[in-house]
Amino acid sequence: MERPRYFSRFSLPADSAQAGIFLMVLTTAAFAGSDSMTKVIGSTVPLLALLWVRYVFQTVVLALWLAKRGVRDFRGARPFRLQLLRALLLLLNSASTFAGLRYLPLPVTTSLAMMAPLITTVLAATLLDESVPRSRWAMVILGFIGMLMVVRPGSGDFSWPIFFPLAAATTFACFQVVSSKLSKSGDAMTTNFLTAVVATLALSALLWAAQASLLPEIKTVRFGSWLLVLIMASLATTGHSLMLQALRRAPLAVLTPFGYAQLAFATLFSWAFFGQVPNLWMALGMLVIAASGIGTVLLHARARGS
């Protein structure tokens, strides 16, 4: 197998776990950058229009890419039910994340969304009736403590929008499981293309239904805001493509701990773009959430290997 050109400089074999980890870190940087652009845009663009442009952009870019490669057979992307589920989960995740970023600081939104592995544990025990050991429940409790440290109920920083990133964490936990299954059965670009098409069709239907109220708002959006939307969409598209490539090279259990690098990138971009630095409680809470999430993944991997 020919080694892709983009790995030659780093001396990483294309199919190694190290290559997957490297791609996962790049994924987190792209997602943090996309979230930063969404935060900069704020409420200047209606949420539905923002989502629509984001997925239309991904659809067009990947359609051109697949056309250039001459891909016309999508049978390798089956089962289509999983493709549909992946698209709907990603759409719900994007909507929850974008809504949360309008009300909450970037590091807060990111850290709460990083509770996905903990939510997976709770869902496995409650909905799938799986046996969850005490050690993993301890990680859930630790993550919950970290969440309380970040949002601090009773303080002026606590508000109802925290439920948006928690919804994002729930949908992303499910999204990653589906993505992991699809990464073994089809081309990464084809999977991302089908996801974008389904999301675009769903959003187009919603835009058509709400056009009477949205069109006046859309007409007031300035050119600079639309430019930021395109940057956001390009970073999001790049991030999802990188994530699927990473999943093809390393198991989800290996990659997930490195997904917490997004907390570092979110903090860096929050300081660079908004001059916001997490306070002591928030920083400690972010570290606790990261530790509990990584611990959950490692415990799950050890249980499967035993």
| Sequence letter at residue 249 | R
- Given a cut of 50, whether residue 89 has pLDDT beyond it is yes
- Average pLDDT, integer, range 129-136: 74
Query: From the DSSP assignment, how many helices (H) and strands (E) are in the chain?
Result: 14, 0
- Average pLDDT, integer, range 14-40: 87
pLDDT attached to residue 200: 93
223-249 per-position pLDDT tens digit: 999 999 999 999 988 998 888 788 888
- Average pLDDT, integer, range 47-59: 90
Task: Give CA 33 to chain center in angstroms.
Answer: 12
Query: 1 pLDDT band (50/70/90 cuts)?
Result: very low
pLDDT attached to residue 18: 82
- Given a cut of 60, whether residue 72 has pLDDT beyond it is no
Residue 285: which H helix or E strand, with range? helix 280-305
- Given a cut of 70, whether residue 158 has pLDDT beyond it is no
Question: How many CA atoms lie less than 13 Å away from 146 in the CB half-sphere?
Answer: 25
- Given a cut of 60, whether residue 2 has pLDDT beyond it is no
- Given a cut of 50, whether residue 9 has pLDDT beyond it is no
Task: Give CA 66 to chain center in angstroms.
Answer: 23
- Given a cut of 60, whether residue 97 has pLDDT beyond it is yes
Alpha-carbon gap, residue 191 to 246, rounded angstroms: 14
Percentage of the chain beyond pLDDT 90 is: 19
- Given a cut of 80, whether residue 91 has pLDDT beyond it is yes
Q: What pTM does this model have?
A: 0.76
- Among 27, 36, 21, 26, smallest CA distance to 268 is for 36
- Given a cut of 60, whether residue 194 has pLDDT beyond it is yes
- Given a cut of 80, whether residue 24 has pLDDT beyond it is yes
DSSP letter at 114?
T
| Sequence letter at residue 122 | V
Tokens of 238: 């790049």
244-291 per-position pLDDT tens digit: 788 888 877 678 778 888 888 998 999 988 888 878 888 888 888 888
CB 244 within 8 A of CB 277: no
Angle at 64 between CA 63 and CA 67, to 5 degrees: 85
- Distance, first Cα to last Cα, the chain: 33
